Amino acid sequence: MRKYLLSAFFVVCDVLIVVLAVMASVYIRFEGAAVDYYLRLVLRNLPLMLVTYLLFFLFFNLYRRIWRYAGIRELLAVTGATFAATAFYALAYKIFGHYHLPGSLLLIIFLLITAGVGLSRMAVRITMSLSVNGQNNTGSIPVLIIGAGDAGYLMASDIQQYYATERKVVAFIDDDPAKKNNLILGVKVIGGRDKIAETVLALGIKEIIIAIPSLSAKATAELVELCSHTKVTTKIVPGIYSLLDNNINMSLARPVGVEDLLQRDPVKLDLDKIASFLTGKRVLVTGAGGSIGSEVCRQVMRMKPAQLVLLGKGENSIYEIHQELSKLYGKEHLVPVIASVRDEERMTEVFDMFKPQVVFHAAAHKHVPLMEAQPAEAVSNNVCGTRRVAKLAGLKNVEIFIMVSTDKAVNPTSVMGATKRTAEKIIQAFNARYPTKYITVRFGNVLGSRGSVVPLFKKQIEAGGPVTVTHPDMKRYFMTIPEATQLILQAGSMGEGGEVFVLDMGEPVKIVDLAKNMIRLMGHEPDGDIKITFTGLRPGEKLFEELLSAEEGTTRTVHEKIHRAVLREEESERMKKLLAKFDACETDLDYIEVLQEIVPTYKPNHFA
């Protein structure tokens, strides 16, 4: 709010400066009767001059700059904006004007407006500096900024100008030895990262802000972990923002999260290729209310489809994603549909009504222990539901069908994993049967998804512990939901049909280390403030997940983070006969035996 008031103040000042400068220039340039003549002439054109100058000031971002610490760069911007506005007005007047304006008059106008605008900014700069320096900031929290470059400077400027009553920057940390002991905005650069803990204790730091947008994912993870040991609230400016536009400010600083510890660099996408199979197309997403499905919907809408059908059986989650996307893109291209992929009649209606060209199949039961206790339900949804939707895609001439799979499908020990591997085989078999391109994308755990460990750990830490981990040696592959979804779209754009794409998940993470990092990020000490207890493996769980089975290999694709699994082709008739055996199943063990026949690598650790 304060920023908008200051901008409005500058607009009013600039209007007065332009009016006074134009009138003063006439008195400076002319004498006698000529004064009245030219005064009437310029006043007649004053509205046009005002609009011209204000538009150019806006274009040069004069109303978005931080003026309290204005320097040569800001004064050059003022000069450039005024010169461009004067030149534009002079050219327009020469072409369309009916009277002659001397060049000397325009030169005086330029000089007076430049001086007036520049002095007005300097006056505000001096006034604000004196005002802030004279304030009693006893209630403000001491802030340490890591990064003494452009981003750190702009962050400190924003804090001192707009948040002085809440925060006070008391130190900088930077690994560049040349910056040590330098003063930035009157604040000292203490030294490198080895001084973080010492500085936090010595100066009573209450908040750390990492302001190095260009930092690699690995370096960011190392820095975040270092800060987490201080138990001080840590925030970070994510991504690379344009420093030239002074975009670095406190609103960009977000609390660090566990995703900052994954050491994963941003995904490089071929947006043109993704757009080529989504823009202007009718798209259906099953499981649209789930963690992955909803993010697929968000990413798809950015590609401007002709229509996006949000399909799911949970009315609340479908309502929420529909409301979210409607606010961003309007309701014209969005259709919420409540339906189950197991209902063949209803799904046929959906395909006939909306005629999708691209289908993302994200609907699935994913909770391992729950499905272990209910194999019939897992088969019904993950196998039969997938088969129905995939078959309809082929019968209704869908162009591309993309199924979301999981690393738990590799050498499965759980019912859920076995059903997902079965679904992969179904998709492969249908690719040879129908003209539709059938593609599977397989990846590991995603951070923050419903039922994952991250929200569970967060609740346990907030409750004071203990944090429950199944086994001290358990490891999992992790990536963020947006990253996984972006790679799903990229893989979909690359597929020719029949592929099982495997996403590069990086290095596996020990779950106990993830728990410890989350405890530190939330300001506690593992095994001190918050205890970690080990509960033992649950039914169907493995210590280590795999992205490929022993008989599988991979080939490279054009994308460095997407690989293609080398698999044996599935025969459609063989799969049809095997799947028919589910109809005769009566007990849980019956379902397990059929799954083992379809997926020979399935070794259940619960049913013996």
In angstroms, what CA-CA distances link 309 with 436, 463, 484? 19, 39, 21
- Angle (nearest 5°) at CA 388 between 385 and 392: 145
- Considering the domain architecture, whether residues 109 and 232 belong to the same structural domain is answered as no
Sign for the pseudo-dihedral over CA of 147, 148, 154, 156? positive
The range of the structural domain enclosing residue 346 comes to: 271-444+479-505+546-598
Residue 459's pLDDT is what?
86
Both tokens of 308, joined, read: 């996006």
Under the banding of pLDDT at 50, 70 and 90, the label for residue 242 is very low
Co-location of 307 and 237 in the same domain: no
> Are 382 and 364 spatial neighbours (Cβ–Cβ below 8 Å)?
yes
Q: pLDDT tens digit string along 83-93?
A: 998 888 888 87
Banded model confidence at residue 200, pLDDT cuts 50, 70, 90: very high
DSSP string, 302-336: HT--SEEEEEES-HHHHHHHHHHHHHHH-STTEEE
Instruction: Domain count for the chain, please give it.
Output: 3
CATH number of the domain encompassing residue 214: 3.40.50.720
In a domain, 390, yes or no: yes
pTM of the model: 0.66
Contacts of 573 (CB under 8 A, 6+ apart): none
CA-nearest of 481, 399, 492, 479 to 441 is 492
CB atoms within 10 A of CB 13: 16
Domain boundary among 256, 286, 312: 256
Q: Is residue 464 part of a domain?
A: no
| pLDDT tens track for 479-527 | 778 888 888 898 888 888 888 888 776 677 788 888 887 887 777 778 7
- How high is the pLDDT of residue 470? 85
Residue 300 pLDDT class (50, 70, 90 cuts):
very high
Asked if residue 69 has pLDDT above 60, the reply is: no
Percent of the chain residues topping a pLDDT of 90: 29
Greatest pairwise CA separation for the chain in angstroms: 110
Task: Express each pLDDT in 265-292 by its tens digit.
Answer: 666 777 788 888 899 999 999 999 998 9
- The total of other beta-carbon atoms located within 10 Å of residue 242's CB is 9
| Rg value, the chain, Cα | 32
Do 417 and 361 belong to one domain?
A: yes
364 and 501 in a single domain? The answer is: yes
The pLDDT assigned to 585 comes to 83
pLDDT tens-digit map of 118-176? 888 888 777 766 655 545 555 688 999 999 988 888 888 888 877 877 889 999 999 99
Mean pLDDT over each residue of the chain, to the nearest integer: 83
Whether 245 shows a pLDDT value over 50: the answer reads no
pLDDT at 130: 60
- Looking at the fold, whether 292 and 401 belong to one and the same domain comes out as yes
pLDDT single digits (tens) 106-120: 899 899 999 988 888
pLDDT digits (tens, 9 = 90+) for 307-356: 999 999 999 999 999 999 999 999 999 999 999 999 999 999 999 999 99
455 found inside a domain = no
Is the pLDDT confidence value at 381 over 90?
yes
CA dihedral 468, 470, 474, 475 (to 10 degrees): -50
Residue that wins the pLDDT comparison between 98 and 433: 433
Q: Can you tell me the mean pLDDT for 556-572?
A: 71
Ranking 173-187, 241-255, 431-445, 463-477 by mean pLDDT, the lowest is 241-255
- Specify the pLDDT at position 440: 92
Distance CA 407, CA 450 (A): 17
Tokens of 132: 């802030």
Domain assignment present for residue 196? The answer is: yes
Other C-beta atoms lying within 10 Å of the C-beta of residue 114: 20
Give yes or no: residues 171 and 310 share one domain: no
* Contact between 244 and 211 (Cβ < 8 Å): no
Same domain, 588 and 497: yes
| 380/415 Cα distance (integer angstroms) | 12
For residue 304, tell me if it sits in a domain: yes
DSSP string, 448-478: T-TTSHHHHHHHHHHTT-PEEES-TT-EE-E
Taking a C-beta distance cutoff of 8 angstroms, is the pair 397, 417 a contact? no
C-beta separation of 5 from 162 below 8 A: no
Return the number of other C-beta atoms located less than 10 Å from residue 251's C-beta. Answer: 9
- Residue whose token pair is 């003026």: 67
- Average pLDDT on 446-466 reads 77
Residue 246 has pLDDT above 80, yes or no: no
**Both 277 and 386 in a single domain?**
yes
Q: Rounded CA gap, 437 and 265, in Å? A: 30
Express as a percent the part of the chain with pLDDT over 70: 86
Band of residue 208 on the pLDDT scale cut at 50, 70, 90: very high
The residue type of 493 is: S
**Nearest Cα to 433, choosing from 376, 392, 466?**
392
- Asked which of 75, 102, 133 is the last residue of a domain, the reply is 133
Poorest-confidence range of 177-181, 201-205, 256-260, 320-324?
256-260
Is the pLDDT reported for residue 194 higher than 80?
yes
Asked if 589 and 607 touch (Cβ cutoff 8 Å), the reply is yes
Among 89-98, 279-288, 398-407, 550-559, name the one with the lowest average pLDDT: 550-559
459, 520 Cβ separation under 8 angstroms:
no
The reply to whether 202 and 309 lie within a common domain is: no
Number of H helices, E strands in the chain: 21, 22
Distance CA 486, CA 254 (A): 22
551 pLDDT tier (thresholds 50, 70, 90): very low
Residues 191 and 43 in one domain: no
261 within some domain:
no
Examine the residue annotation and report whether 408 is marked as an active-site residue of this protein.
yes
Name which of 44, 45, 67 is nearest 57 in CA terms: 67
Query: Does residue 209 lie within any of the structural domains?
Result: yes
Q: Do 313 and 203 share a structural domain?
A: no
Do 108 and 156 lie in a common domain?
no
Q: What is the DSSP letter of 384?
A: I
The whole-angstrom separation of Cα 1 and Cα 228 is: 33
Identify whether the C-beta of residue 351 lies closer than 8 Å to the C-beta of residue 392.
yes
Q: What share of the chain is helix, strand, coil (3-state, %, to 5)?
A: 50, 15, 35
Residue type, 384: C
* Cβ atoms within 10 Å, residue 137: 14
In 7-148, where do the E strands start and end? 141-146
602, 593 contact by CB (below 8 A): no
Q: Is 539 within a domain?
A: no
Catalytic residue among 408, 437, 475, 516: 408
Mean pLDDT, range 570-591, rounded to an integer: 80
Q: Domain ends where: 87, 107, 133? A: 133
Residue spans of beta strands (DSSP E) within 79-205? 141-146, 167-173, 183-184, 187-191
